Amino acid sequence: METKAPTPRAVLVGIQTPEVDDIAHAASLEELGRLVKTLGYEVVGSVSQRREGTGAGSLLGSGKLAELAALTGGTGETGTMAPPPRAKARQRFEGAAEAAAPEPEEAAAPKPEFVIVDHELSPSQIRNLERATGAQVLDRTGVIVEIFHRHANTREAKLQVEMARLKYVAPRLRESSGGGGRQQGPGAGETSLDLDRRKIRDRISELKDQLEAVQRDGDNRRSARRDQLRVALVGYTNAGKSSLMRALTGSQVLVEDKLFATLDTTVRILQPETRPRILVSDTVGFIKQLPHDLVASFRSTLAEALEASLLLFVVDASDPTYEAQLEVSRSVLREIGADAVPSRLVLNKMDRVDAAGRAALAEKHPDAIMLSAHAPEDVAALRETLIAFFEAQMEEDVLMLPYAKQGLIGEVYESARVLSEDFNEAGRVLKVRGLPGAIARLRRSLA
């Protein structure tokens, strides 16, 4: 019978700088806890300190560092991790004392193996904290990169995440205790650390080439959809985008109460289907301090937002920090230039908001769409809102489909709504309603 591996245990560490208030600091630590749980770790404690900044060598002051070390079983000292030398007589004395000591009645609870810090750390800060605590140290960026690594499913997402992961790891590599010596043969003169870094650079270059090829295919697919009606669901991770996607399209997209459950863009048709069709895409969620390399790596995924006709900013209205989350989402989209795309605010999870909260949200965001993705009547109302948005941009026109090109009738029905059909000696006369760009493209095809 297989024994289940024990759940890794972790302690959270947060620094509250002067520009961060108590509510925002507490929310950030709570979010870090959810990230850690998404990794499958158990949070067993936290240490927090007010400081002017996060640049200190050990991050924490000596008192808080000792408090953290007490939780993890570390020494609290940032010096070398090697044990102090002991005289042989002292070793024999301590050995005899240990042999004579009575057996403990009950084994002490295992100490946490991880310290997770709610900030990005320098390599020296990680090294100092590991020496002081005796635990493995991860910063917020490292946790997010690891979650992305575990959740990537498609080839594109795996390539994107591996590249971001290597860029994160490269500056944090340290010489192994066993060998800082020079290499023999090819690459002679390099230390093992130099060799590891060169291998990472070569691998990143290889990943870039593979990713560019995959992204060219994605660009071609998006180009083929350029004149179609496209809605992109964007927003903070775990805001309910995938649940809303499933409700709008009837698709079986992954829905989990986890951060970053969705990394791959999914495109489905709005149901019941309209003419012309409306495509809905679910995109990767955003988060505070989303690593820049991940934003850059997911360029093609985020391009769905850049090329959409309408963005729906999906927000968890029941979260007290929803406004800060909304600003994070808008900031990332500004970074890729998608802030010029028309957008609407969707306040989701309203079933978790009381009457007073609903009234306050309605007053603060009078133009927002308030709904619960689990309420069919709310989803139906959103569908009508989407149809009305596109209807306002459509125009009517008359197209002539020559008899020699009757095979293109399907393309006409895909790209526009056919209001009437008639025939004359030249071909089929179609009165259509659609977006100006789609009608112009149809004219070129039918000419």
| Domain ranges within the chain, ordered by starting residue | 9-80+110-145, 226-391, 395-446
pLDDT at 107 over 80: no
Going by pLDDT thresholds of 50, 70 and 90, the confidence category of residue 100 is: low
Beta bridge partners of 432: 397, 418
Tally of CB atoms within 10 A around 304 = 25
Annotate the chain with three-state secondary structure: CCCCCCCCEEEEEEEECCCCCHHHHHHHHHHHHHHHHHCCCEEEEEEEEECCCCCCCCCCCHHHHHHHHHHHCCCCCCCCCCCCCCCHHHHHHHHHHHHHCCCCCCCCCCCCCEEEECCCCCHHHHHHHHHHHCCEEEEHHHHHHHHHHHHCCCHHHHHHHHHHHHHHHHHHCCCCCCCCCECCCCCCCCEHHHHHHHHHHHHHHHHHHHHHHHHHHHHHHHHHCCCCEEEEEEEECCCCHHHHHHHHHCCCCCCCCCCCCCCCCEEEECCCCCCCCEEEEECCCECCCCCHHHHHHCHHHHHHHHCCCEEEEEEECCCCCHHHHHHHHHHHHHHCCHHHCCEEEEEECHHHCCHHHHHHHHHHCCCCEECCCCCHHHHHHHHHHHHHHHHCCCEEEEEEEEHHHHHHHHHHHHHCEEEEEEECCCEEEEEEEECHHHHHHHHHHHC
pLDDT bucket at 219, cuts 50 / 70 / 90: low
The pLDDT score that the predictor gives to residue 256 is: 58
Residue 14 φ then ψ, to 5°: -130, 145
Residue 401 has pLDDT above 90, yes or no: yes
Of residues 394 and 102, more confidently modeled: 394
Cα 113 versus chain centre, distance: 25
What are the phi and psi torsion angles at 223 (to 5°)? -65, -35
Q: What CATH number was assigned to the domain covering residues 9-80+110-145?
A: 3.40.50.11060
Token pair 């007073």: residue: 356
Q: What is the pLDDT of residues 179-193, one digit of tens each?
A: 444 444 555 556 888
Side chain identity, residue 222: R
Q: What is the pLDDT of residue 179?
A: 42
**Dihedral (CA of 301, 273, 435, 382) sign:** negative
pLDDT digits (tens, 9 = 90+) for 46-55: 999 999 988 8
Q: Please state the rounded mean pLDDT for residues 414-431.
A: 92
Q: Percentage of the chain with pLDDT > 90?
A: 48
Neighbour count for residue 300 (Cβ, 10 Å): 21
User: pLDDT at residue 421 above 50?
Assistant: yes
276 residue type, one letter: P
Q: Name the CATH architecture for the domain at 226-391.
A: 3-Layer(aba) Sandwich (3.40)
Which of 96-105, 267-276, 375-384, 435-444 has the highest mean predicted lDDT (pLDDT)? 375-384
CB 247 within 8 A of CB 374: yes
Q: Are 416 and 276 in contact (CB under 8 A)?
A: yes
pLDDT of residue 190: 67
Q: Does pLDDT of 118 surpass 80?
A: yes
> Do the domains spanning 9-80+110-145 and 226-391 agree at the CATH topology level?
yes
For residue 231, CA distances in Å to 123, 172, 244, 344, 435 come to 42, 40, 12, 11, 14
State mean pLDDT over 424-438.
92
Structure tokens at 344: 């609407």
Alpha-carbon gap, residue 29 to 43, rounded angstroms: 11
Higher pLDDT, 61 or 3: 61
The length of the chain in residues reads 447
Question: Would you state the pLDDT for residue 363?
Answer: 97
- Mean pLDDT confidence for 365-382: 96
Q: Compute the average pLDDT of residues 206-213.
A: 89
Lowest mean pLDDT among 29-43, 47-61, 130-144, 260-274: 260-274
In whole angstroms, what is the distance from residue 152 CA to residue 18 CA? 37
- What integer best gives the mean pLDDT of the chain? 84
Mean pLDDT on 280-297: 77
* Least confident interval from 172-181, 198-207, 271-280, 397-406: 172-181
